[in-house]
Each structure stands twice: as C-alpha cells, then as structure tokens.
C-alpha cells in the first residue's frame, strides 16, 4: 500500500487556457510508524511540469535524477520510467543477487531448465514479486499547451488526459470515486476544479495512510501557485456544510411517509 494521496485534475481558465489543480497530503510512513511531516510530496521538474510521489519518499530524487530541465513532458515521462526500471534492478542486485552471490546470467540460465530446487524457486519468486511500491504522478503541459497527467511506475506508464483527472496512493479509490461523482471535466472552471480536488482529498482521508494536512496547488503554463491556508479553511468549511446539507435539509420535514409513520406507526 502506498501511504499517501496525490490527486490531479485538469480545468480551464475563462480564456480557454488549460490548467491543472493538484493536491497532496503530508503523511510520511517509516518502519516505526506514520506521522505528518512538512516534507513536500511534489517536486518541480521545471516551471510547468510537476512530479508527485506516492510510496517510498527516499526514492524520489533517484526517480527524477538526470532530467533535463528543458525537456518536454513526454521526454520527462520516459526518463522517469527508465530511472524507476533501473532503480528496481539495482535494488534487486543489492538485496537479492549479493545475498546469494548470483548475477543476471545465473538467473537466465536457471530459467532455461526445469526448476526442482526450492531455493532456486524462492530466489525467482522474490525477484518476480519485487516492487518499489512507489508511483510517480506526473502533471504538466506538452508543446501544444495541452495539460497532461501520467502515472509512472517501474513497469511503465499510463496517461489520463482523456479521463480529466487521476490519483495515486492509498486513498486512490475514494479520491477517484469523488471526482467521478462530481462529474469532473477538463471544461470545469478553476474554482470548481479546486473544490473538486479538495473534496477528493478530504474523502480520501478515510483510507489508512492518508494524512489530514492538505497542500493544494495550481499549475499553469507559466508556473505554480499555492492555495493559501485561509482559502483552504474556506474550502473545508464548504465541504463540511455540503456533508451536513442533506441530513439537515428542511425539506426532510415534508416527507409524507415519515410524517404518517410518526402519526400511525406504519409507513404506507
């Protein structure tokens, strides 16, 4: 389970320019437990490309290592994929190969034959199941000024521009379901997108490993700006009011079946 939440959604300015709203928590997971920390879950690749990480925070710098700051979105995406593939191989070599004093050639040789040795079977099983347990959510703009969202892992990447939004982390299901429920579209305006992402983050907090603190930002072609703490308080207030609106709505008092039940003890 990737302990955190990273969310992004595409929207439009009044002039038709595409923008991206993205948010993260501040939860950090270690061997001794989970805690809120001021550590950033995102890094600026350049002024209009941002990478967010779900998983092992200590791998972040290695995942984005060697990226040309002038590279376009798709070149950055491919470089991160290569870095993660290389990182997986290096860790397997250090944690598996060195323990058993083997190398790639040894593994290739035993794959050519029937395996009847439980130790060899264990080695292959460890290698095949090894995972960085880390994902990168990359957001930014391509050379045509179109907003892009990609999830990158050690096995490849998936693009989500056509979906309009995406999330990674342990609260992914709750976040994506929220954005689906909101019917979020890349044609939504900025205010709507900001609230939708805030709501998705708040709903994701029910998942284990998602922190309560929220960082909400706006990415334009020209750069990144942050939603201030005062605005976060307003958005959270709206969210709480929405939660209570239905169950406290005055029209509930007009439900005939409920009123009849109170009078006659039976719903008809």
Residue 119 in this model has a pLDDT that exceeds 90: no
Q: How far apart are the first and last CA of the chain?
A: 48
Domain residue limits, the chain: 5-227, 229-268
Domain 5-227 maps to which CATH number in 3.30.70.270, 3.40.449.10, 3.40.50.620, 3.60.20.10?
3.60.20.10
Residue 33 in this model has a pLDDT that exceeds 90: no
Residue 34 in this model has a pLDDT that exceeds 80: no
pTM over 0.85: yes
The confidence score (pLDDT) of residue 114 equals 79
The residue written with tokens 């805030």 in the block is 198
231-253 per-position pLDDT tens digit:
999 999 999 999 999 888 889 88
Query: Are the CB atoms for 12 and 19 separated by under 8 Å?
Result: yes
156-189 per-position pLDDT tens digit:
999 999 999 999 998 999 999 999 999 999 999 9
71-111 per-position pLDDT tens digit:
999 999 999 999 999 999 999 999 889 888 888 888 888 88
Residue 228 in this model has a pLDDT that exceeds 80: yes
Query: The tokens of 228 are what?
Result: 């201030």
The confidence score (pLDDT) of residue 24 equals 94
* Long-range contacts of 58-66, Cβ-Cβ distance < 8 Å, separation of 24 or more: 59/87, 59/132, 59/134, 62/87, 63/87, 63/134, 63/136, 64/136
Q: Model confidence at 1, in pLDDT bands (50, 70, 90)?
A: very low
The confidence score (pLDDT) of residue 136 equals 97
Residue 141 in this model has a pLDDT that exceeds 60: yes
Q: In whole angstroms, what separates CA 254 from the centre of its chain?
A: 42
Give the other-Cβ count within 10 Å of 137's Cβ.
Answer: 26
């Amino acid at each position: 389970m990737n302990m955190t939440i990273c969310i992004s959604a595409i929207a439009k300015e009044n002039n038709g320019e595409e923008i991206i709203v993205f948010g993260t928590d501040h939860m950090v997971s270690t061997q001794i437990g989970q805690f809120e920390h001021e550590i950033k879950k995102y890094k600026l690749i350049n002024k209009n490309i941002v990478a967010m990480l779900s998983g092992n925070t200590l791998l972040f710098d290695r995942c984005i290592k060697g990226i040309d700051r002038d590279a376009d979105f798709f070149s950055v995406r491919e470089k991160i994929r290569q870095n993660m593939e290389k990182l997986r191989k290096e860790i397997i070599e250090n944690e598996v190969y060195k323990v058993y004093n083997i190398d790639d050639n040894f593994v290739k040789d035993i794959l050519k034959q029937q395996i009847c040795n439980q130790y060899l079977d264990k080695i292959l099983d460890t290698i095949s199941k090894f995972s960085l347990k880390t994902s990168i959510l990359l957001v930014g703009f391509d050379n045509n000024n179109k907003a892009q969202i990609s999830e990158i892992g050690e096995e490849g990447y998936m693009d989500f521009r056509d979906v309009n939004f995406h999330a990674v982390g342990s609260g992914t299901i709750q976040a994506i379901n929220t954005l689906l429920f909101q019917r979020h579209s890349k044609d939504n305006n900025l205010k709507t997108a900001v609230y939708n992402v805030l709501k998705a983050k708040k709903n994701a907090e029910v998942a284990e490993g998602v922190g309560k603190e929220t960082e909400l930002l706006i990415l334009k072609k020209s750069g990144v700006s942050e939603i201030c703490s005062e605005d976060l308080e307003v958005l959270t207030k709206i969210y709480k009011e929405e939660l209570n609106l239905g169950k406290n709505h005055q029209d509930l008092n007009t439900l005939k079946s409920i009123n009849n039940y109170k009078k006659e003890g039976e719903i008809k």
